Amino acid sequence: MSPLLKVAGVSKSFGALKANRNICFEVARGEVLAILGENGAGKTTLRNSIFGHDLADLGVAEFKGSALRAGDPRAAIEAGIGMVHQHFTLADNLTVLENTLIGAQSLWKLGLQTAAARRKLVALAERFGLEIDPDRLVSELSVGEKQRLEILKTLYNDCELLILDEPTASLTPQEASGLFVSIRRMVSEGLAVIVISHKLNEILEISDRIIVLRSGETVGDVVTSEADKRQLGEMIVGRPVERPQRGSGPPETASRIALEDVSTIGDGSSVALDRISLTLCGGEIIGIAGVAGNGQKALGEVMSGHQKPSTGRIIIDQQAIGRSSPRAFMQAGIAYIPEDRNREGMVGDMTVWENAVLSEADSQAMVGGFSQIDKRACLAQAERICTDYDVRTHSLVQPARLLSGGNLQKLLIGRWLARNPRIIIACQPSRGLDEGAISAVHSMLLAARQTGSGILMISEDLEEIIALADRVAVMFNGRLSASIPNNNIDPIELGLMMTGEGFHAI
Amino acid sequence: MRFETREQTPAWLPWIAIFLAGIVTLFFAGILLMFAGASPVDGFIELFTGAFGSRNAMTETGATATPLILTGLAAAVAFRAKFWNIGAEGQLYAGALAVTFFGTGLIDLPAFLMIPFLMIVACVAGGLTLVPMMLLRQYLRVDEVVTTLLMNFVIILTVSFLLEGPWKDPYSLGWPQAAPIIDSGVLPQVVPRSRLHLGFLIAIIAALLVWFVQSRTVFGFHSKAVGFNPIAAKHSGISLSRTMLGIALLSGGLAGLAGASETAGLKGYLTLDLSPGFGYTGIAVAMLGNLHPVGVIFAALFMAVIFVGADAMSRALDVPTYLADVIVATTVLSVLASLVLVRYRLVFKG
């Protein structure tokens, strides 16, 4: 049987960077192919070349025996390729059914043929185990449901090859296994699925065949049943990797920061906090687990002075904090590592050294007699951060946006650690990072714990929480559960609590 | 054909791009001159002799550039922080009002004190005019483009009211103008028997000071960060409201200084036609100068050359003076287009 999709010799460069080098692979009907690789390995570029967002420099993608028109996503969709991006592309103000019809109906037809569409949608949902109410507004859907809708949209457009980009990035373990069941059904009906991911465990669970990308090249093409996890891990990174072990922490000190019955007023876009109480001591890491959008953002913001609690008190080192401003919290010894390092953490258009001292430029050590910035002191400080925390940059004067995600995050965390913070609020500290950078970030946090800092780590990655946290609490719908000591926590039970089952707020 | 982001841009590239944009502009202006029935070569010769050809021409160009440097700086300072102050015109008149209020006899000091005093009150008046709009934007998210623009009309109508009423100079033979600035407050001429006054030097010094503040001081550093990414700046403990307050005071203050320099330097008294839109032209100057203080000096001089030169050209060749406006507009457009090409690379493929 001829393959459904054949990618032959695809190469793509961005300036000096060779994002894809002579990549060849095939996908047959009834097969789940995984494309595995770290961030920056070229997965996204490859995906864009196939789907037509980008123009490959060399090579072709053949679908059902004929070449796809390059640089034209519409041609790919019409040929029968469906793509579900990691960040969903849905209209929040429309219903499930209306979203399905976007792009599926001619612009020049008056009225929507909803009856037929509804029948088709419901039938598809049932067939593939993607149940969803066609009349609900997308804004009311959970992350898992939104993803189901995205997949349904592609199926509705008669896709034969489905490309899923980091499909489990923000799903609970339960939602993820539901997704895998649906994928299995699709391939049993003769579709082909490509899963792009950097999560090794899931790939081993769902795929039939794995190709591994590293620095733009295919470094492995293996049948999953014959694959070895360790070997794959090394293939991805190019060298053996090990994440740092938690070990036992220093003796705990008194409470560093405590929230007493803190609530916030929601602004409509995010869930508000509902009577949260929490005590964080020095020398411990508390992990906050939860499905995205259950108030984690508000929790981080309240604890860093970005949002004012409407009721309740925040006590830092036995003193209630009066002024709620990021600056006041910083001076009280808090370091806040925001979840979106590009938007909230760094000024991409400024240089590496400027970013390294962004929070320090007005400190005594950096300012000369005319309130001018002492550039030499700043450069020295930036140099120190880059060496201490292994930030790899061509030069200190290049724009920070040219740094890789991992180096950017190391720079950001390093900038905070250089202040010797007594309290660290880390939101999704390793989201979207490659294996090497994750180990580095984890080491940085563990080292800070060893020196007596109290760390609150908010993460959607259960693996990360179980690996690092001394205590774990779950957030659900703006409330926080009691924290449980992290010994022999069952991830499945935690996953259930994240969806509200067995969840008890304190 | 598509745009691709450049990974790295050499520092000289924007300046080359602006220079090439200038050439493109001259080309288009040449075509227009041919339409107007004149030879482009003659036109440009007349234009440049009109602007540089004599001592008088050069001082005229300098005098015209003076308010443009200051309003250009006002726009550049604000725009760099992504604060879209379109109200330099109003702030200019606010400065002029302050100078007229204090400088027409209320206070009399020796010139070496009087002139700095008038400049400072004009700065403060211009700056304070802009602060409410900044507060509206920071705390109530009111679009500053709308508020600063509309404030222009409020201030200009106030000037009109004052000049027709309480501040009208009784010796003005009925013209709506205020009493003249007293002698100790008048900015002396830099070149004798010309209209080039101390304001020109003040403008140059202001530009250099702004340059120092922006590139060397903590405030400049903070305002750069706030301009590029206010959220990240806030997360780094930079106070947005304090930084924005500084930016508003500086931007409005520079525009106010333009009003002071025109009132106390060029005209000697406040009239309603003090500014033929210097505030608005300042925006174009700032764009042309790539929001760089030294770039602003050159952009303002370029504009002045065009304005002064086009007058001479139209007298000599009998072509419309409006050509000056067209040339300025074309320059701004081609500079903006060229700056896009600095950020992105055009790829012809597919």
Residue B298 lies in a domain: no
| A354 at interface of B, judged by CB pairs closer than 8 A | yes
Q: Structurally, how many domains does chain B consist of?
A: 1
Mean pLDDT over A127-147 rounds to: 86
CATH class of the domain at A242-333+421-506: alpha beta
pLDDT at position B256: 97
Mean pLDDT over B86-105 rounds to: 94
Mean pLDDT over A239-245 rounds to: 75
Q: Which CATH architecture has domain A5-237?
A: 3-Layer(aba) Sandwich (3.40)
% chain B with pLDDT above 70: 98
pLDDT at position B248: 96
pLDDT at position B133: 95
Lowest mean pLDDT of A8-17, A316-325, A425-434, B118-127, name the range. A8-17
Interchain contact, A336 vs B235, CB within 8 Å: yes
Please give the Cα distance from A318 to A320 (Å, whole number).
7
Interchain contact, B238 vs A358, CB within 8 Å: yes
Residue B304 lies in a domain: no
Mean pLDDT over A377-394 rounds to: 90
Specify the higher pLDDT residue, B5 or A139.
A139
pLDDT at position B350: 46
Nearest beta carbon to residue A402 from set B7, B231, B349? B7
Reference B225, options A328, A393, A361; nearest CA is A361
pLDDT in tens, A367-380: 777 778 888 889 99
Q: Which residues does chain A have within 8 Å of residue B229's beta carbon, measured at their own beta carbons?
A: 343, 346-349
Packing angle, helices B322-343 and B13-35, rounded to 10: 150
Reference A396, options A405, A407, A386; nearest CA is A386
pLDDT in tens, B182-222: 989 899 988 888 889 999 999 999 999 999 999 989 999 99
Give the nearest chain B residue to A403 (CA atoms): B7
Give the nearest chain B residue to A304 (CA atoms): B235
Q: Across chain B, what does the average pLDDT equal? A: 90
Q: Across chain A, what does the average pLDDT equal? A: 86
The alpha-carbon gap from B6 to the nearest alpha carbon of chain A, in Å, equals 8
Reference B125, options B117, B135, B137; nearest CA is B117
Mean pLDDT over A454-471 rounds to: 90
Q: Which residues does chain A have within 8 Å of residue B225's beta carbon, measured at their own beta carbons?
A: 347, 350, 354, 358
Is B15 exposed, middle or buried, given 0-12, 13-18 or 19+ CB atoms closer than 10 A? middle
| Residue A274: C-alpha distances to residues A261, A477, A480 (Å) | 8, 8, 8
pLDDT at position A163: 92
Beta bridge partners of A461: none
Mean pLDDT over B131-136 rounds to: 95
For chain B, give the longest Cα–Cα distance.
73
**Domain containing residue B90:** 66-290
pLDDT in tens, A304-324: 998 888 888 999 888 888 778
Interchain contact, A347 vs B218, CB within 8 Å: no
Domain with CATH 3.40.50.300 in chain A: 5-237, 242-333+421-506
Residue B144 pLDDT > 80, yes or no?
Answer: yes
pLDDT at position B245: 96
Q: Which residues does chain B have within 8 Å of residue A361's beta carbon, measured at their own beta carbons?
A: 218, 221-222
Q: Which residues does chain B have within 8 Å of residue A325's beta carbon, measured at their own beta carbons?
A: 239
Lowest mean pLDDT of A236-250, A286-300, B59-73, name the range. A236-250
Interchain contact, B228 vs A347, CB within 8 Å: yes
Please give the Cα distance from B57 to B311 (Å, whole number).
11
pLDDT at position A157: 87
Q: How many CB pairs under 8 A join A and B?
A: 78
Give the nearest chain B residue to A56 (CA atoms): B350
Residue A506 pLDDT > 80, yes or no?
Answer: no
| Residue B43: C-alpha distances to residues A221, B300, B304 (Å) | 71, 21, 16
pLDDT in tens, B43-86: 889 888 999 888 999 999 999 999 999 999 999 999 999 999 99
Residue A251 pLDDT > 50, yes or no?
Answer: yes
Residue B328 lies in a domain: no
Mean pLDDT over A180-209 rounds to: 89
pLDDT at position A110: 62
Of the residues B229, B231, B241, B242, the best mutation for testing chain A's interface (the one with the most A CB atoms within 10 Å of its CB) is B229
pLDDT at position B292: 92
Determine the straight-line distance between the first and last CA of chain A, rounded to whole angstroms: 59
Q: Give φ, ψ of B251 to 5 degrees.
A: -65, -50
* Rounded (5°) CA angle A379-A380-A386: 85
pLDDT at position A107: 62
pLDDT in tens, A344-364: 989 988 999 999 999 887 777
Model confidence band, residue A108 (pLDDT cutoffs 50, 70, 90)? low
% chain A with pLDDT above 70: 97
Reference B88, options B254, B208, B200; nearest CA is B254
Mean pLDDT over A481-487 rounds to: 87
Residue B52 lies in a domain: no
Please give the Cα distance from A433 to A428 (Å, whole number).
10
pLDDT in tens, B147-159: 999 999 999 999 9
pLDDT in tens, B265-318: 988 889 999 998 999 999 989 988 889 999 999 999 998 998 899 888 888 888
Is A212 exposed, middle or buried, given 0-12, 13-18 or 19+ CB atoms closer than 10 A? buried
Structure token pair of residue A136 = 């609900």
Q: What is the DSSP letter of B266?
A: I
What ipTM, to 2 d.p.? 0.81
Nearest beta carbon to residue A371 from set B8, B217, B235? B217
